[in-house]
Structure 1
Amino acid sequence: MSLRIKAVVDKFVKELTEALQADIQDRIMKEREMQSYIEEREREVAEREAAWKAELSRREAEIARQEARLKMERENLEKEKSVLMGTASNQDNQDGALEITVSGEKYRCLRFSKAKK
């Protein structure tokens, strides 16, 4: 009878060992699958981040170009205004004359009248 018990115990131990080995292998496979999935997701996120940064850099460069163009246009407008309109400044003269500078030449105006429409 002890041989039968020993055989049953040996069979149980063998089956239990096999089940444990199968469970361990299953867990190892799941761990590898999970690690592979995580690496793939990290790669996807890194690609999206790189694309986003490239787009951001492109937009920042475009904004800088537009700002430079706007600044140049503003400077040109100021030059045109200066040439076309002259610069007028009300002088605190005794006679109340208005001095106007057009293209570097000064003019004095003593009398004013409203422009007709």
Structure 2
Amino acid sequence: MSVRIKAVVDKFVKELTEALQADIQDRIMKEREMQSYIEEREREVAEREAAWKAELSRREAEIARQEARLKMERENLEKEKSVLMGTASNQDNQDGALEITVSDTFAALFSFQVGSPWKLRTW
């Protein structure tokens, strides 16, 4: 009977060893699949992150260009406003003339005398 028990135990050990080997192989395969999946997901995330950063950089550059353009437009507007509005100054002249300075490049002198029409002189 001991031979029979030994055969049963040997068969059980063999089947258990095969089952353990199969389980180990299954776990190794699952681990490889999981690692492969993780690596693929990491690549996808890295690609999306790179695309997002490139888009962000493009938008930041566009904003910088627009800000520069707006700054130039504001400066041009201020210059134009300065030319158009100028600085008006009243000066009490003995002959009753009113001098209006529009800009550094243009000045007009309106003079009048009682009983005569306005005269415009430019220089």
Are the structure 2 counterparts of residues 94 and 59 from structure 1 closer, same or farther at C-alpha, using a change threshold of 3 Å?
A: farther
**Structure 1: stretches of 5+ with no match in the other structure:** 103-113
> When the two structures are superposed, what TM-score results if normalisation uses the length of structure 2?
0.73
1:100 Cα shift? 5.2
1:116 Cα shift? 24
The answer to which of 24-33 and 77-86 deviates more is 77-86
> When the two structures are superposed, what TM-score results if normalisation uses the length of structure 1?
0.76
Deviations 1:49-108 (A, max 9, x none): 000000000000000000000000110111111112213479999999998542xxxxxx
Percent identical pairs in the alignment equals 96
Are the structure 2 counterparts of residues 96 and 7 from structure 1 closer, same or farther at C-alpha, using a change threshold of 3 Å?
A: farther
Work out whether residues 90 and 97 of structure 1, in 8 Å CA contact, stay in contact via their aligned partners in 2: no
Work out whether residues 91 and 98 of structure 1, in 8 Å CA contact, stay in contact via their aligned partners in 2: yes
CA–CA separation in structure 2 for the residues paired with 1:16 and 1:93: 121
Deviations 1:5-37 (A, max 9, x none): 101100000000000000000000000000000
CA–CA separation in structure 1 for the residues paired with 2:23 and 2:55: 48
CA–CA separation in structure 2 for the residues paired with 1:17 and 1:49: 47
Are the structure 2 counterparts of residues 98 and 2 from structure 1 closer, same or farther at C-alpha, using a change threshold of 3 Å?
A: farther
User: For the aligned residues, what is the CA RMSD?
Assistant: 5.1
The answer to which of 85-94 and 67-76 deviates more is 85-94
Work out whether residues 90 and 98 of structure 1, in 8 Å CA contact, stay in contact via their aligned partners in 2: yes
Are the structure 2 counterparts of residues 95 and 81 from structure 1 closer, same or farther at C-alpha, using a change threshold of 3 Å?
A: farther
Q: How many residues align?
A: 106
Question: What residue in structure 2 maps to residue 35 of structure 1?
Answer: 35
Rg larger in 1 or in 2?
A: 2
Runs of 4 or more, structure 1, over 6 Å off, are 89-99, 114-117
